[in-house]
Structures are given as C-alpha cells and as structure tokens.
Amino acid sequence: MGRDNMQALKDRIRRDGKVLPGNIVKVDSFLNHQLDPLLMRDIGNEFHRLFASEPVTRILTIESSGIAPALAAGLAFGVPVVYAKKQISSNMSGSCFSSPVYSYTRKAMYQVSVSTEYLDKSDHVLIIDDFLATGNALKGL
C-alpha cells in the first residue's frame, strides 16, 4: 500500500465517510456494510509492510467490522485470523480468554471471548480492528 495508498485510504474516508453525531465515522460503503475487496487487499498488504519484521503467528480482531481488514492482513502474512466473539455460541466449548469491551459506536459493554484452542503463549499476535475510537477494543484484546 505504501505512502501513496495510505493517502488513497485517507482520501476515501474523506470522500465516502460520514461523521455522525458523537464523532462516529460511518464507512458503510467500503468497510462496515459493503466491502471494497481491492482496498482491503491494499490494507492487508500495508499491515504486512509495516510489521513484516515481527514474528506474527496470528492476527486477532473483534467481530464484525474488523474481520475484513484482519483477513486481508492474514492473507498477506500467511497466518490464521482469530476473532473475538461478542457472544459465546453453543458451538464454542472449552476454556476461553474473555474480557469486557465497551463499544463506542453501540454505547454498550460486551464480554468478548476467544477459545484458548486458537491462541496460546507461544503466539505472536498482531491486533487489527476497523477504527480506533477510544482504544477499548485494543485494551480488551
């Protein structure tokens, strides 16, 4: 992606993004509701460029908007993508890592969980999400 494509991402946010009350950035046209696969590919490649010297073994995000850029980064790194679930489903058994996370956009607290089956102490995790509002998702992950 490089510097030129980072500028392209900024331009895209300025062109297609909307700022909603509460300083929420709405980017539904290319990230949160509809996906621009070429932009996601470039974002994944940029994360790889920035963190290529790190021994990344897993990409970690929270469902759902972080999944697309995380998957693109996982493809670029060639590593699995793990996402924290906001609700534990019936098919999620065994032990989990869990943490409370406050959602700035939904104004609600979630208990996010990741099965210990997919992360362990030997992993080197790169955390990727869609936007950084207050850092609560990052702290929780």
Q: What is the pLDDT of residues 93-117, one digit of tens each?
A: 678 888 898 877 777 888 889 999 9
Q: Which residues neighbour 15 within 8 Å (Cβ) at sequence distance 6 or greater?
A: none
Sketch out the chain's domains with CATH numbers. Answer: 2-140 (3.40.50.2020)
Average pLDDT over residues 118-129: 93
Does pLDDT of 92 surpass 50? yes
- Strand 58-62 with 81-84, pairing: parallel
Cis ω for the linkage preceding 98 (within 30 of 0): no
- Name the band, by pLDDT with cuts 50, 70 and 90, for residue 86: confident
When the pLDDT of each residue in the chain is averaged and rounded to a whole number, the result is: 85
Supply the DSSP symbol for 9: H
> Which of 19-23, 36-40, 130-134 shows the lowest mean pLDDT across its residues?
130-134
Does pLDDT of 33 surpass 60? yes
Q: For residues 141 and 127, give the distance between their C-alpha atoms in angstroms, rounded to a whole number.
A: 8
Does pLDDT of 2 surpass 60? no
The partner residues of 114 in beta bridges, in order of sequence, read 97
Q: Which residues neighbour 17 within 8 Å (Cβ) at sequence distance 6 or greater?
A: 25, 26, 27
Helical axes 67-77 vs 37-51, angle rounded to 10°: 60
Q: Which residues neighbour 90 within 8 Å (Cβ) at sequence distance 6 or greater?
A: none
Cβ atoms of 52 and 73 within 8 Å: the answer is no
